[in-house]
Each structure stands twice: as C-alpha cells, then as structure tokens.
C-alpha cells in the first residue's frame, strides 16, 4: 500500500482549483451569493418601518388639531401623504394600499376638548401585515398623552390628567386580531411557487443538455416558442397542484379567510406561475449544468424573498431596495393575493399590480427565446 503523498495531493488540489476557475459562472455564484446576503441583510432589511403613508380626514383646523398632527409626524412613523380628504376617499386609499393609516378627527374636536368630553379620534390601519404597523401603533399611544401638553394650559390645565384628553380608537382593517398567519400563509403561496417553478424549469433544459438529448431536440423542426411553451405547460400543472395543497392548508389548518373571488385568484396565480417559469427557462439556456441552474435559482429567489415584503415590511426598506423589489414579480403577487383573500379586491383594483407582472413575463420570455435561438445556432 502506497504511503500518503503530499506531492500527489497538491497536484490534485491544483487540478481541482484550475477546474473550478474554468467554471466561471459557478465561481461567480459562490462569491456573489454571500455578497448579496451581506448587502440585503445589512442595508435593505428593516423590521421597524418609518415614514408610513397616512391620510388625515379632518374638518377641524384648530391649533389643537395641528398640534396633534405635528406630534404624529415628529414620531417619524407617520408621513402625511393625503390631507383634507373625505372619509370615503380615505377608505379607498386604505383599501388600495396607498396609505397604511387613516386618521379621522371629528369636526368639533377642539370644542369637545374644551368641554372635557374626551373626543374620539378614529385610527384605521391596514393590518394585512401586522408587523408593519406594530411599532407605529405603540408610538401613537405614546403621542396621545403628550401631543396637547402645550395647548392645555391656563384654564385648561385641569384636562392634563392621568388619562389623555381625547380617546384613540384603533380599528385594524382586514385582520382585526392582528394574526400573523393571515399575512404569512398567503405569502407562502408566492414564495413556494417562485422557488419551485424557477428551479424545476431551470433544470429542464440543462438536464437534456447533460444527458445528450438536447442534440435530438435541436434536430427536430420544433420552433423555439413551441419548445418553450411545451416545456412550461407541464410545470403550470405542477404549480396548480402545489397551490391546491397550500390553499387546503390555509383554509383548513390556518383558517385564512377568502373574501374575494376564488376564480380571480386562480387567474392571477396563473400569470405569476408563467412569469416564474419564463425566468427558469431563461436560466436553463444560460446554465451549463444542473448545479449552475440551482445556483442561479437561489440567486433570484433570495432577493425575491427578502425584498418583496414577505419576510420584512416593504415600506421599511430603503428607496433603492424598494426600486429593486418593484421589479420582482413576487412583490406584486403578494399584494394581489393578500388583496383578494383579505380585502376582497376586484379585478380593476389589481391592475396596478398586474401590469408589472405581465411586463416582467414579456421580458423574461423574450430573453429566453433569444437565448434559445442562440443555442440553435
């Protein structure tokens, strides 16, 4: 039996290192994925969102009302984006997701304060993502006791008691109990479909290339678009099978409500599935082997999961991260699925989120077809 040779081991080491450097895509992924994780977790993730868009409905323009609104803004959690709107317009903004909070101040707010009647300020919050508004609501309760301390002086000093001079009545819309599963379970539909659809399709073409059946496919008169559609459709069926399992668990185990149209939800999920399959097909035309296809899948899945608003509040991320998140189909799909299941959104209300997914699908399919034609050449 030959003794262990450091010289032979070193030769194998050099050979493997050179082989690794030749596989530039795998080496780039090995370096790029940790860098991506560091950047996203270090700069883009924020579990304490501030500057949340807020609509203020108020017909009272007294100094006390202005003091209360100024105290809200000084917390840093509330950014007044709409003021002077009606309550109906505020409801529409909240329902469409354009604002996180709607604050309704009664028209005789200051008069009731002076009389010691403790007026009620209604605070409606979009609670589809409970974590996004949790700290803001805590800051709001702290504001109630301090907002008017400079106004309640002189003859009104007796109103500075242990209880605030006014009452905050918080109404959590679409998720009254603040259950996290109402947010997480619908989001899991998108994250699971993103990972599996991209990976399965990405492995499709690379598997044929590794097995040597790609040459037989290229020898047939099948056109690139026909190959693409033919390879995507079976995975669409698999996607709906996965969807059935997730929805069954959502309704039976987690009791997630279904307020909107089930048919509309199925249609939107179909668009989302095809968009991800287009990405997977594109990866399959770039990757040389199945390992590279898996690596590219994770390189796409990681920012999709972190920048879409699934794990962390979307509005808590910096602006540059939100721009990247708006490009990803998962971001828009999460708003769609939560809007249908929790808010009962109709088709026309989903158009602002649908067209970015369709645009992404068009770009992904165009790149995939172009790359496949290059493979034919």
Q: What is the CATH number of domain 52-173?
A: 3.40.1710.10
Do 125 and 77 form a contact (C-beta atoms < 8 A)? no
Q: pLDDT tier at 126 (50, 70, 90 boundaries)?
A: very high
Residue 125 has pLDDT above 90, yes or no: yes
Domain coordinates in residue numbering, the chain: 52-173, 180-376
Helices within the chain (DSSP H only): 6-22, 24-39, 63-74, 87-95, 109-114, 130-146, 181-211, 214-219, 224-252, 262-286, 290-307, 319-327, 329-338, 351-376
Identify the DSSP state of 348: G
Write b or e for each residue in 202-220: b if 16 or more Cβ atoms lie within 10 A of its Cβ, otherwise e.
bbbbbebbeeeeeeeeeee
pLDDT digits (tens, 9 = 90+) for 31-55: 777 787 787 777 777 878 889 999 9
User: pTM for the whole thing?
Assistant: 0.84
When the pLDDT of each residue in the chain is averaged and rounded to a whole number, the result is: 84
What is the pLDDT at residue 296?
87
Residue 160 pLDDT level (bands cut at 50, 70, 90)? low
DSSP-derived pairing of the beta strands 78-83 and 101-105 = unpaired
Looking at per-residue confidence, does 284 or 28 come out higher?
Answer: 284
In the prediction, which pLDDT does 162 show?
56
What are 230-262's pLDDT values in tens digits?
777 888 888 899 889 989 988 888 888 999 999
Among the listed ranges 28-37, 278-287, 294-303, 341-350, which one has the minimum average pLDDT value?
A: 28-37
The pLDDT, as a whole number, for residue 218 is 65
Question: Measured between alpha carbons, how far is 314 from 311 in angstroms, rounded to an integer?
Answer: 9
């Amino acid at each position: 039996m030959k003794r262990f040779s450091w010289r032979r081991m070193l030769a194998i080491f050099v050979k493997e290192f050179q082989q690794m450097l030749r596989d530039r895509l795998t080496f780039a992924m090995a370096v790029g994925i940790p860098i991506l994780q560091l950047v996203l977790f270090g700069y883009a993730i924020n579990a304490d969102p501030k500057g949340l868009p807020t609509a203020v409905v108020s017909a009272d323009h007294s100094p006390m009302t202005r003091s209360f609104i100024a105290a809200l803004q000084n917390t840093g959690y509330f950014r007044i984006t709409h003021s002077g709107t009606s309550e109906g317009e505020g409801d529409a903004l909240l329902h469409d997701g354009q604002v996180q909070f709607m604050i309704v101040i009664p028209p005789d707010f200051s008069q009731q304060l002076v009389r010691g009647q403790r007026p009620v300020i209604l605070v409606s919050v979009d609670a589809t993502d409970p974590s996004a508004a949790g700290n803001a609501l805590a800051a709001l309760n702290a504001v109630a006791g301090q907002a008017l301390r400079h106004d309640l002086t002189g003859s009104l000093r007796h109103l500075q008691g242990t209880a605030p001079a006014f009452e905050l009545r918080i109404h959590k819309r679409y998720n009254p109990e603040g259950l996290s599963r109402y947010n997480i379970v619908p989001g899991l539909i998108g994250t699971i479909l993103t990972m599996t659809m991209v990976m399965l399709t990405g492995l499709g073409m690379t598997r044929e290339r590794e097995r040597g059946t790609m040459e037989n496919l290229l020898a047939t008169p099948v056109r690139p678009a026909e190959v693409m559609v033919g390879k995507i459709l079976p995975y669409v069926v698999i996607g709906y099978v996965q969807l059935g399992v997730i929805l069954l668990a959502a309704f039976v185990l987690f009791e997630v409500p279904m307020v909107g149209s089930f048919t509309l939800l199925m249609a939107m999920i179909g668009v989302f599935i095809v968009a991800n399959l287009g990405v997977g097909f594109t990866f399959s035309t770039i990757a040389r082997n199945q390992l590279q296809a898996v690596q590219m899948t994770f390189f796409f899945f990681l920012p999709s999961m972190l920048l879409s608003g699934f794990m962390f509040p979307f509005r808590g991320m910096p602006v540059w991260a939100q721009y990247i998140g708006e490009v990803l189909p998962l971001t828009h799909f999460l708003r769609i699925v939560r809007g249908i299941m929790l808010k009962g959104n109709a088709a026309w209300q989903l158009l602002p989120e649908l067209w970015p997914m369709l645009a992404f699908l068009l770009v992904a399919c165009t790149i995939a077809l172009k790359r496949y034609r290059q493979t034919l050449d």
